[in-house]
Amino acid sequence: MTPARRSILALVALVLAVGATATWAQDFGRRRRAADISPQNIPYDGRFTFVRLRHGGAALGRGEPPWAHDYPRAERNFSRILEELTLIKPHLQDSNVFTLDDPELFAYPLAYMSEPGFWQMNEAELAGLQQYMSKGGFLIFDDFRGEHWSNFAEQVRRIIPNGQLVQLEASHPVFHSFFDINIAETQGYYGPASFHGVFEDNDPAKRLMLVANYNHDLGELWEFSDTGFVPVDLSNDAYKYGVNYVVYAMTH
C-alpha cells in the first residue's frame, strides 16, 4: 500500500469516528432481539450492494441470531470506505439480506456470511447456494474460531463435495487486488488469523470461489471502527481485506 493510500485510509477512519461518536454512545451495550432485526431490501439497480446471507440458528449472547452479528453498522461503515477508496459507487445506507435459496441472490456477485460455525442448510438452501456458486458467486465467511471450523468445513463439503479447503498463500491475487496485504502480519481478532478458500476444480490457477477468515472477525472491526472501541490499525487492516475481496470478486 502506498503512503498516500495509508493516509487516506487513516483520514477516512478519523472522519467516521467524529461523525458517529454520538450514535455509538447510544448503541453500545444495547441488546438486540431477533425480532428487532428487520432488513428492508432494496431492488437491484446495478449499483454495488452489500449482501449478507441469512442462516438459521439460536440467538447469541448479544440477543441476535448468528447471521446478524454486526448488522447493519458493519456494512454501512464498510460501504463508505469502499466508496472513498475505489471507483465503486455502492449503496451507503442500504444493504440486502437474503436466505440461501432466494433467487434474488443471483443478481449480486458476492455475499457475506457471519458466524458460519452455526450455519446449517436444508435441501432447498443447499441447492440454492450450489447454483449461486456454480454461476460465479463469491462467498466471504467471517467471524468464526476454534471448534467452529468443524461445522464450517462440513457445510462447505456439502456445497462442493469434491472441493478442497486450503490455506491461501500470501502471494494469491486476492491479497493484492487493490492493497498489497502481508497476511503474515495480520493480527486476528481471536488469535493468529488464517485465510482459507476453495478453488474451481481445486486448481489454484483458477477462480477462488470463497474465502474464509478463520480466527478473525472483519465485521466486528468494521462495525466498531468509528467508536474507539477497537484499535485503528486492526480496523484499517480489516477494511483492506474487505476492499480486496470486493475488487477480486468483481474482476474474476
Cell output for 246: 470486493
Low-confidence stretches of the chain (pLDDT < 50) are 3-4, 7-8, 11, 13-35
Beta bridge partners of 214: 144, 194
Q: 3-class DSSP state for residue 210?
A: strand
Instruction: Verify cis geometry, omega within 30 degrees of 0, for the bond prior to 72.
Output: yes
- The pLDDT of residue 163 is 96
Axis-axis angle for helices 3-27, 232-251 (nearest 10): 110
Beta bridge partners of 89: none
How far, in Å, CA of 111 to CA of 98, rounded?
9
- The pLDDT of residue 185 is 92
CB 226 within 8 A of CB 16: yes
- The pLDDT of residue 6 is 53
CB 190 within 8 A of CB 163: no
How far, in Å, CA of 115 to CA of 120, rounded?
11
Q: What DSSP designation does 188 have? A: P
- The pLDDT of residue 34 is 45
How far, in Å, CA of 173 to CA of 2, rounded?
17
How far, in Å, CA of 115 to CA of 177, rounded?
25
What distance separates the 2 farthest-apart alpha carbons in the chain?
Answer: 49
DSSP string, 32-51: --GGG---------SSB--E
Going by C-alpha positions, the residue among 171, 199, 203, 201 that lies closest to residue 184 is: 171
Three-state SS letters, 122-155: CHHHHHHHHHHHHCCCEEEEEEECCCHHHHHHHH
CB 65 within 8 A of CB 119: no
